[in-house]
Amino acid sequence: MTMRDTDRALVQAATAVSKLRCRSPRHTVASAARTADGRVFTGVNVHHVTGGSCAELIVIGTAATQGVTELETIVTVTDRGREVAAPCDPCRQVLRDHFPSLRVIVGELDALRVVEIGDLPG
């Protein structure tokens, strides 16, 4: 799938959060998700020796806290916004189970693309 303007804006949102909030080893990854009606939720990971939580899960919980249980598109950025990362295997499973038609932005920053969550391996 090709990138929409709203997809590029979502990458910018995740990048902004990453640059602003991922300033310690505790928080290194940011994620942003958009609903079909344009609401955006962001979050950062929580790193801890016990396992912590990935940014994607924080975003799902943040959306649910606001009563939103349907997400359309998600992106995850690392390295203070210098890379877009695909969700890890456990997150892929959660995202597939909760949002079977979720669009995921992946790829190199200069060649981003959108894939359906079910088309990601793992």
Long-range pairs of 8-15 with CB within 8 A, sequence gap ≥ 24: 8/112, 10/34, 10/40, 10/73, 10/74, 10/75, 10/105, 11/75, 11/77, 11/84, 11/105, 11/112, 13/40, 13/42, 14/42, 14/75, 14/76, 14/77, 14/81, 15/77, 15/81
Comparison of 7 and 56: residue with beta carbon closer to Zn ion: 56
**Under the criterion CB under 5 A, does residue 91 sit at the interface with Zn ion?**
yes
Among 32, 44, 54, 95, binds Zn ion (CB under 5 A): 54
Q: Is 56 labeled as catalytic in the residue annotation?
A: yes
Q: Between residues 44 and 54, which has the closer beta carbon with respect to Zn ion?
A: 54
Q: Judged by CB, which is closer to Zn ion: 68, or 88?
A: 88
Taking CB under 5 A as the binding criterion, the range among 27-35, 52-60, 61-69, 100-108 that sits at the site for Zn ion is: 52-60
Binding site for Zn ion (CB under 5 A): 54, 88, 91
